[in-house]
Amino acid sequence: MKLTRKVTALAMASMMVFSMAACGGDSAPETTTAAASTEAKADAATDAATEAAKETAAQAEASGGAGGNIGVCIYKFDDAFMTTYRNALQEILEGKGYTVTFMDGKNDQAEQNNQINNFIAQGVDALIINPVMTSAADQIIATVKDADIPTVLINREPTADQMSAYEKLVYVGCDARQSGTMQGELILDTANKGDINGDGKVSYIMIQGDPENVDAQYRTEFSVKALTDAGMEVEELDLQRGDWDRNKGQEIAQNDLAKFGNDIEVIFCNNDDMAIGALQAIQAAGRKVNEDIYLVGVDALDAALNEVVNGNMTGTVLNDANGQAQGAVDAMEALLGGKTYAAGEQSIYVDYVKVTPENAADFQ
Ligand code: BGC
């Protein structure tokens, strides 16, 4: 994805202030202008000009330029899907003239809490937060409410009840049940509906994301439910958490292929990165996707789209990073414009799309 980088001098200055704060600096942001340093020596006329310049700089700093200052907290930068999402957010926000600062939560909720507090101390106009843990949502929501900062939560959905605590808060994401159902449908669409050995049941392993995340819970449940709803018998050979991570996906698949061998007919992965890892194990074990085993993921990462086209993955499901990033920015602007959200109406969903070799090129 092409990034548009529009960083003004002012933006650079604010970003430096932000990163100082993020590194533990506790002093209030200070902006030293050339005009301010010459003020003492100036005569009356220059004084007036200096004052005007200072006022303009202060106003500009307060509003972050044309678009305002936006703080974005990502649960961890080292996540394949969230990298795509982050790039999309950056392109959209900077393209609109916002000054945007991204913070890496490093998968540590305490670290992210500090980052949120620093953003608030710096007076950001709005926050976009991808929580590290949805179980921390109550605390995050209480913090942003207390500071009266319009906030968009992304990617990790809290409950409607948790969100109802603050009317200037909205969640933008997808309904993870839909992606699970689509994964099941991808298997049902194969010639033998996943029952490669014809023993009357679909034997699978499930490589789960971080089970604290509702995406992992729902994808696990609804992928299998699609099969049983269609009247298929299923057999779960193994279910293990791979924490959305490629290496863990590879390790789990490798161990299970050694243990269960040809009994495994389907490998469900809650995301593409783990599916790419599982594919490495499948190939190392001398198995062939779509011939003696099926493999599905979620996200439609570029690497996975290539494997779908090459026949090395049965399919994936588009987790629309661009659509969600656009939705998050739209919701943020609505909040900045004064919109509030009633309880029960605080989740905005973008649709998933089933990806097969037939339509994969549309997303590449
Ligand atoms: C994506 C995963 C990602 C996770 C992060 C999910 O929606 O499918 O790839 O790791 O979000 O929370």
Task: Report the nearest-CA residue for atom 10 of ligand 1.
Answer: 244
Domain 69-174+321-350 has CATH 3.20.190.10: no
Pocket test for ligand 1, best of 244, 268, 270, 316 (most atoms within 8 A of CB): 244
134, two tokens: 């949805």
- One digit per residue, pLDDT tens: the chain, 364 residues? 333 322 232 233 333 222 323 333 332 332 222 233 333 333 333 344 344 444 433 444 444 445 799 999 999 999 999 999 999 999 999 999 999 999 999 999 999 999 999 999 999 999 999 999 999 999 999 999 999 999 999 999 999 999 999 999 999 999 999 999 999 999 999 999 999 999 999 999 999 999 999 999 999 999 999 999 999 999 999 999 999 999 999 999 999 999 999 999 999 999 999 999 999 999 999 999 999 999 999 999 999 999 999 999 999 999 999 999 999 999 999 999 999 999 999 999 999 999 999 999 999 9
Task: Please give the CATH superfamily to which domain 177-318 belongs.
Answer: Response regulator (3.40.50.2300)
Q: How many A from CA of 347 to the centre of ligand 1?
A: 17
Instruction: Indicate which atom in ligand 1 lies nearest the CA of residue 270.
Output: 8
What are the boundaries of each domain within the chain? 2-57, 69-174+321-350, 177-318
68, two tokens: 């305002």
CB 157 within 8 A of CB 347: yes
Ligand 1 site residues (CB inside 6 A) read 79, 81-82, 155-156, 209, 213, 215, 244, 271, 273, 298-299, 319
Instruction: Indicate which atom in ligand 1 lies nearest the CA of residue 179.
Output: 8
Q: How far is CA 345 from CA 68, 84, 172, 341, 342, in A?
A: 26, 27, 11, 6, 6
Q: How many A from CA of 244 to the centre of ligand 1?
A: 7
Secondary structure class of 267 (helix, strand, coil): strand
User: Is 69-174+321-350's fold the same as 177-318's?
Assistant: yes
What CA–CA distance (Å, rounded) separates 296 from 224?
12
Between vectors from CA 55 to CA 49 and to CA 59, what angle results, nearest 5°?
Answer: 145
Task: Report the nearest-CA residue for atom 3 of ligand 1.
Answer: 81
